[in-house]
Every structure is written in structure tokens, then in C-alpha cells.
Amino acid sequence: MLLEIENLSKSFGGLKAVSNLNIEIREGELIGLIGPNGAGKTTVFNLLTGVYDPTEGKMLFQGKDVSGLKPYQVTHRGMARTFQNIRLFGDLSVIDNVKIAFHQHAKYSTLSAILRMPGYFSGEEEMEQKALELLEVFHLQGKAREIAKNLPYGEQRRLEIARALAAKPKLLLLDEPAAGMNPQETHELMELIRWIREHFQITILLIEHDMSLVMGVCERIYVLDYGIVIAHGNPAEIKSNPKVIEAYLGEEAI
């Protein structure tokens, strides 16, 4: 078991955004987390990645409690995420966005960097090469020196995923990666997500509103409504679940 969420709750004043959440994810799975707007999906991601501290419950990652850790500590443990609204370092180059994530695995010390010792230069050269290799995987190597904010929307999405993968996570959290994409881009993203799981041998937890993507790529799906899990199962079970139809999908979506 890679991730175990046990009776997790988060309250903001009198509002309970997540209530007694229980989720289990095994290594190598591709899991969906869906629900209507305001259901608490992004709150779950913020809890997992240390943006919020849980009000109750705990989160076990590789058997160790990560509840209450800071975001950088969670990243060091092996979780990385993207965001619903793209959060790149827009004024930096494409390659620098990726290299920033690689720096947590830097083989040189801060002192070596300050004094510009040989280990610093060899370490930077190695990260540069690794970043270029990762950009090539996402067909962005030709734009490595361009400013990130100048990329088309779909390429910015790919860059954000590449940056998350540069952190070498064991669990990749994708927060609405298809937001703003047309049907063709969504189909290409679906294939990319499958490929990432196989190529990087990584576990993926996905939040998404596009049901064609969720049903087409996820092996199991959890459905949230008002912060509570109302259904859990494979895509076929979720599509036919009356509670899901009532709360989220609607008759026409089935």
C-alpha cells in the first residue's frame, strides 16, 4: 500500500470541507477523485501536500505518517503535484522551471555553490542534461530557452507535469490537467497520462471534471460530495451508481 488516508477531516470554521475520508492507493495504480464543484477534491490534495493541516485523521505514505508536514517535506518524501490553475515560474525559461525541481536532488552543497567549487559546476551540468532529457520526453526540448509564460496553454500543462516528474515522485497528483483543453488535446492528454504511468513506473491520483478522461484512464474512482465519499469502484460501477448520477454525473452524462 502506497497511500492510506484514514478518517481524514478538514474544517474551516464551521464548514467541514472534508469529512472522515478513507482512501487506499496501491503502488502502480491510476486512481480518479471526482465530484461536483465544492466537493472537497482540491482540499484533499492540499492536505496531502502539506498546504493544509488536517483537523482530524492521518495520512500514511509508504507506511509513515505525513500529516502536518510542510510542502517541501512532502515533496522530499515522494509526492508531487500539478495545479488546476497552472503555476509555473512564468518569467523563467522552460528549462529553469524543470531544473528548480531537480535541485532537491542536487549532489553539491550550499557552500560548494557559494564558492563555485568544481562539484557545483559538475552538478549543474548534470541537472541541465537531465532537464533536457525530460523536456525531450514531453516534446519541449526545442523550447528549452523560451520564457515559460510564452508557451501555448497545452505546452504549459505539459511543462508543469514535467516539472512535477523532475522531483522524482512515487505518487503524482494531477489536479484537473484537462482544464481548458479541447477534445483533441484531452485525448492526447489521456494517452500521455497512461504513458507516464508506464514509462516512469509511477502511481497517479487524478482530479478531473472531464468524464471521458476519467472513465477512459482510471482503474478505480472515488466520488466526493460535500466532503464525503459517496461511491468507490471501477468506472463501470461508478457510471451506474444512483448516488453518483444524482450528485454529479446526471442522466445525460451516462
pLDDT of 86 above 80: yes
Residue 29 above 70 pLDDT?
Answer: yes
Instruction: Give the pLDDT confidence score for residue 109 in this predicted structure.
Output: 64
**Average pLDDT for 147-154:** 93
Q: How confident is the model at residue 111 (pLDDT cuts 50, 70, 90)?
A: low
pLDDT, tens digit, for every residue of 43-83?
Answer: 999 999 999 999 999 999 999 999 989 999 999 999 999 98
- Residue 253 confidence (pLDDT): 43
SS3 assignment for the chain: CCEEEEEEEEEECCEEEEEEEEEEECCCCEEEEECCCCCCHHHHHHHHCCCCCCCEEEEEECCEECCCCCHHHHHHHCEEECCCCCCCCCCCEHHHHHHHHHHHHCCCCHHHHHCCCHHHHHHHHHHHHHHHHHHHHCCCHHHCCCEHHHCCHHHHHHHHHHHHHHCCCCEEEEECCCCCCCHHHHHHHHHHHHHHHHHCCCEEEEECCCHHHHHHHCCEEEEEECCEEEEEECHHHHHCCHHHHHHHHCHHHC
Q: What is the pLDDT of residue 249?
A: 54
Mean residue pLDDT across the chain: 89
Q: Can you name the CATH fold of 3-78+169-253?
A: Rossmann fold (3.40.50)
pLDDT tens figures, 185-202: 889 889 999 999 999 999
The percentage of the chain sitting over the pLDDT mark of 90, rounded to a whole number, equals 67
